[in-house]
Each structure stands twice: as structure tokens, then as C-alpha cells.
Structure 1
Amino acid sequence: MGQQKDLTGSEKSKIVRYLAEGCSTLKIAKLLKRDHRTIKRFIQNSQQGRKKRVEKPRRKITAHELRKVKRAAAKMPLGTSLAIFQSCNITGVPKSTRCAILRDMAKVRKAERRPPLNKTHKLKRQDWAKKYLKTDFSKVLWTDEMSLDGPDGWARGWIGKGQRAPVRLRRQQGGGGVLVWAGIIKDELVGPFRVEDGVKLNSQSYCQFLEDTFFKQWYRKKSASFKKNMIFMQDNAPSHASKYSTAWLARKGIKEEKLMTWPPCSPDLNPIENLWSIIKCEIYKEGKQYTSLNSVWE
């Protein structure tokens, strides 16, 4: 009966059962026809269990270094823990310790989204509000494109307690995803319509896209009175606001008062942005991933 190093799972189960029945290790070795030393080694290892990992004491920093870290965190909003500590010339501190120290004086936040508005933008918004003050907005078709290329706003970093997160410009366009166009008017959703992969929306392709989707599949089915009262809203993307697109829409009957004048840098005024937000939260909830663009579209 030779000595074998490894016991099978079945043999290990039998050893446990025999021990529970009160059998000696010598008897178990004979029953399993295994070397006595192999049985004893297995029992000893099982009784020992796994050794607990001895945690090394964390690197301590002085009160002076702590004050430097606090000042650096205030000066570097959304900075990483490594960047904050390096700016203080504090080295050799592992990430877990850095985060534990920062957690007492700061918290992880992401940048707030806000359109980059200057004085001119604000004045044009006021003009827009005055112009459409008495407009029946239930007759406005709000339109926009959205690129489904992953959840936005993923970037995070440390920021001191009581501080506001700095502004990060809203991403208007993205690549490598599914580009969709849709509209909402009153309680009706128009589309969404998918832009073919690889198609760049310039003036010509944008107008052709509207012809094949919006006009042929939705607009032409509406009554004459609806078309007469509807106001078409689109943002100031180059493909939308170009002379070519404006002239093309005019030939379709969408011109002058039927084409809403849109203030620049104002995506937050478009209610369809709320729809995009809801859709993205639903599509990418719980960190969901997709293997293809078609699965995202579905």
C-alpha cells in the first residue's frame, strides 16, 4: 500500500464520515487502503484551517501632514487620492490608507453638469422666453439626438466636505455607440429612429434622415390642422442650423414661426433631455453591459 499525496473528494467525505462514527485514523487508512500518514495529514490540515492574514499596521501621518492634505484636497477638487498626497510630498502611503484619511475630511463626488453659459447666452435665453411667453407648448415638437455609448457622468474624485463640485461641460456628442433621434409633443413620442451606423449627420444626411423617418413615418399621417399649428424645435447643431437644412425644412412647410428659434448652449431647456436621462438610467442600470450595438438598440 503505497503513500499517495492527494486524496479524492470522495475519500475526504468518507474520512469525515468515519471520524464521526468514532473510527480511528488507523482503521480509516485500512478501510480506504491508503497510507496512514496521508489520513493523519488531511485531518491535521482540516483542524488547522486557514491562517488569518496578519494585517500590517497602516502608515501614520503627522498632524502637520494631515493639515497639508486637507488644504490640498480643497485646492484640487475631484483630484485622486494619489494626486492629493503627491502634491503634499507624502509618499509611501497605500491607497487604502489614503482613502481612509481622506474619508474623514472629504467625500467622493462627481462633477455637476451645467451648460457653459456666458452673458450673451443668458440674454438670448431671456429673449427666447419673452418671445414664447404665450406659446402653447403642447403644440411644440421637441426633438434631439442621443448617443447610447455608455452611461455619462462616471468620473468621480475626492472633494472636501461643504465644497461644491466643479462644473464639467455636458458632453454633446459621443462616438462608438447607437445614435438615435426622437421627438416628444404633448403626450406623444415620435420615434425613436436609429441613425445607421457609420453615418455622420451633416446637413445633407440629416435632411435625408428626417425625410426617411420623421416625414414619411409620422408627419405625413397627421391632419392639415395639426401640421398648421405644430412648432418644430431643434437645437443649433451645425447639421440642424445650416442654410441647407433651414431651406430644406422651409420647402417642407416648416419655416418662420413654425420653426422655433433656439438659444445657444441650452440643452437643459429641452424637455426631451429628461427622457434621454430616464432611458440611459434604465438601459445602464446596475452597471449593465452590452456585447453589441444591436443589443443596445433592442
Structure 2
Amino acid sequence: MAPWLSEHKKGQIDALAGQDLSVRAIAKALKPRPDRSRPSYATVSRYLASRGRRIVRKKPGPKRLLSRKSERRIIRAVSVDALTSGQVVHELHLQCSARTVRRTLQAAGFLRYKRVSRKPLLSSDNIRKRLAFATAFIAKPMAFWHQVVFSDEKIWSCDGPFGSSQRWVDCRAKSSSYARRQHSGGGKVHMWAGMSLRGLTMAVFVEGGLNAVKYQQVLLEALLPFGLEMHDFNFTFQQDNAPAHTANSTEAWLDALGVTVLPWPARSPDLNPIENIWGVLSRVVYRKGRQFARVAELKAAVLAAWATDAQKYVVPLLESMPRRLQAVLDARGHHTKY
């Protein structure tokens, strides 16, 4: 037994041992005396053995698969390059599993695996125009927005939804980086639709890419009958700044028909309430990870959701326009939560 242990120190060891701590944990918890270091692991072990106390020895565990340097490389790869755990194993040539990588990321404490929206990049000119639009229209009454027909195109894929993804996000950063949308995969369809307080337009599917001629045909088929029937042609038309929308022939065609077009800022999906309709329909169409073997089945599912699930969200979304504009002003033109 260690003869130099004081009665106070022995009492401390007994108390800590009663908490089922390991010998190393007990030795580490003891405060050293002013004239010498704290009792060593061997001293504590001999004392407990002499008292007939059970010695709890912590198993050393398996050998570490990743060095500290490798852990830092993993954290950098997911937070900066937005790689998945499987991609990290492949790109960094690690001799471990993707599950080990995920455990390393979870142990870091400041990384979270969360859904991140893919939003378009904003230039300084985009930010300036978004601020100008919000400033000009923030004072508009709700009666004005009730006369607006919001429109947009949506690409539906047989493989699953576009628009968002899950990845590891560094919670220490003030904001997450966003990537532009990239459409790829199996069969897909291009759909145009619109909405206003009076209801929903018909949904039109476009074959192939959308050019100015096809776009004018879509508006002739869906927008003009809706505007005439629901608004007696007294409405303001909203569209984004896609090339087919801003083509000279399209602008001249709309002007000849007397359609008032809302001056919409580029790269502003968060201001368009129909974007939220797409999110609702995506959850319905792709519920429980559903995929489609044929484009015809996908179209039928989209049309059914458009006819049954979209209408109940129209009024709340239209009434959110003042809040959306205020959010742009508060964000100084940058992206908002919408």
C-alpha cells in the first residue's frame, strides 16, 4: 500500500471508487498536493487492492481508424465541398466505412445533417433590383395582389423531386452556401401553371425545351381563357425572367393583347407564392419515396395533385405577399426564408 497517502486522500479515493469510476478516472480526479503530483494510477490501484475494493479497469477499445488529420480533412470535405459520407470515403481514399465517417462528423459537435434548399446565386445587380421591387410594391393593398396571376414552370422527374437536398451543414457559419438547380435523371416532364385568388389555371405540359413560340402557345391555351373567365381580363400577369418569357416576340405579343406584366426581379423564387405550391405537390406526388416507371403515370399523379391539393393553399400564400416583400427588405435584398 502507498504509505504516503493521507487519510483525506484515501477517503477521496474510497468515495470516487463508490461511484464505480475506473482507476484512471479516480487518479485523474484527485487534486495534487502542493509539494508533489497527484497519486499515480499504480498508487491508486495498489490502495484499492489492499482494501479489497473492486478495481474497475476501462478497456482500451479498438485502435483508432482515423488520425486527427484525417478527421479534419473529413470535416473540411463535408462543410466546404458538400460531399456525402460515401463520397468522402471515395475522394479521400479512406480505409474505413461511411458509417465511421458519419460518427466522426457527429462527434465534432458543430455539424448537422439537414435539408438545404437549392437557391439561385444573387449578384449585386439582382440584390439591388429585389430591393427596388420590394420598396415599390410593399405599400400595395391586398386588392392589388388578388388581381395578380402568378405563373411558373416546374420540371417533374420520374426518379424523384428536384429543388432540395440533405447534407452536412456547419452550424458555426452564418449562412449556408447554395447551389443552382441541376436537372438530371430519368424521364421528366415540363409543366406550366398559374394561380390567382380566383383559382388555378389549367396545367399544361410542354414537350421538349420551352422557347418563345411554345410559351406563347401555352399562354394562349391556358392564361388567356383563365384571365377572361375569372378576371374579365382585368389582371396583372406575373412571370419570371426566363429567356422564353423575356423574348422580344413574347413581350410584343403580350403587349398587343393588352396584358399587364408585373416587373419581376430576376432570381426571386422566394417572392413567387406558386413556388410553395410546387413544394406541397412534390410531397404529395413523391410521397413515401414514390417513383414512376412511365411519364404518363407521372403526369396523371401531378394533375391529380394539382386538382385536389393545390387549391386550399392559394389564399394563404397570396396573403403572404406583404410579408415576403418585408422579408426582402429586412434581408437587404438577399434570400429569405420563403
Q: TM-score, normalised by structure 1?
A: 0.67
Give SS of 1:117's match: coil
CA distance in 2, matches of 1:282, 1:264: 29
1:48-63 residue pairs with structure 2 within 5 A?
A: 60-61=64-65
Letter in 2 for 1:81: S
1:209-224 residue pairs with structure 2 within 5 A?
A: 209-216=218-225, 218-222=226-230
CA distance in 1, matches of 2:233, 2:273: 21
- Which residue of the partner structure matches residue 241 of structure 1? 246
Give SS of 1:236's match: coil
C-alpha change, 1:99 and 1:172, in structure 2 (3 Å) is closer
- Structure 1 residue runs of 5 or longer lacking an equivalent are 1-56
Deviations 1:106-155 (A, max 9, x none): 44334443331222112111221233234321111111111111312564
- Which residue of the partner structure matches residue 252 of structure 1? 257
C-alpha change, 1:164 and 1:280, in structure 2 (3 Å) is farther
CA distance in 2, matches of 1:242, 1:269: 22
C-alpha change, 1:163 and 1:109, in structure 2 (3 Å) is farther
CA distance in 2, matches of 1:275, 1:215: 21
- Which residue of the partner structure matches residue 201 of structure 1? 210
Q: What is the CA distance between 1:263 and its match in structure 2?
A: 0.7
Q: What is the CA distance between 1:174 and its match in structure 2?
A: 6.3
Larger radius of gyration between Structure 1 and Structure 2: 1
C-alpha change, 1:96 and 1:129, in structure 2 (3 Å) is closer
Please point out which of 286, 295, 298 is paired with 2:297.
295
Please point out which of 117, 141, 156 is paired with 2:122.
117
Matched, 1:227 2:233: yes
- Which residue of the partner structure matches residue 188 of structure 1? 199
Deviations 1:148-180 (A, max 9, x none): 113125644444564567322342766841221
Deviations 1:13-57 (A, max 9, x none): xxxxxxxxxxxxxxxxxxxxxxxxxxxxxxxxxxxxxxxxxxxx9
- Which residue of the partner structure matches residue 181 of structure 2? 171
Letter in 1 for 2:95: G
Q: How many percent of aligned residue pairs carry the same amino acid?
A: 27
C-alpha change, 1:177 and 1:59, in structure 2 (3 Å) is farther
**Alpha carbons 1:82, 1:95 under 8 Å: kept:** yes
CA distance in 1, matches of 2:90, 2:188: 37
- Which residue of the partner structure matches residue 140 of structure 1? 148
C-alpha change, 1:101 and 1:126, in structure 2 (3 Å) is closer
**Alpha carbons 1:74, 1:159 under 8 Å: kept:** no
Deviations 1:46-71 (A, max 9, x none): xxxxxxxxxxx966236xx1364046
**Alpha carbons 1:111, 1:153 under 8 Å: kept:** no
Please point out which of 87, 91, 102 is paired with 1:99.
102
C-alpha change, 1:205 and 1:233, in structure 2 (3 Å) is same
Give SS of 1:146's match: strand
Give SS of 2:233's match: helix
- Which residue of the partner structure matches residue 275 of structure 1? 277
Moved more, 259-268 or 99-108: 99-108
- Which residue of the partner structure matches residue 80 of structure 1? 84
- Structure 2 residue runs of 5 or longer lacking an equivalent are 1-60, 301-338
C-alpha change, 1:208 and 1:159, in structure 2 (3 Å) is closer
Give SS of 1:104's match: helix
Letter in 1 for 2:84: T
Q: What is the CA distance between 1:84 and its match in structure 2?
A: 4.4
C-alpha change, 1:67 and 1:235, in structure 2 (3 Å) is same
C-alpha change, 1:173 and 1:133, in structure 2 (3 Å) is farther
C-alpha change, 1:153 and 1:243, in structure 2 (3 Å) is closer
CA distance in 2, matches of 1:209, 1:186: 21
C-alpha change, 1:112 and 1:67, in structure 2 (3 Å) is farther
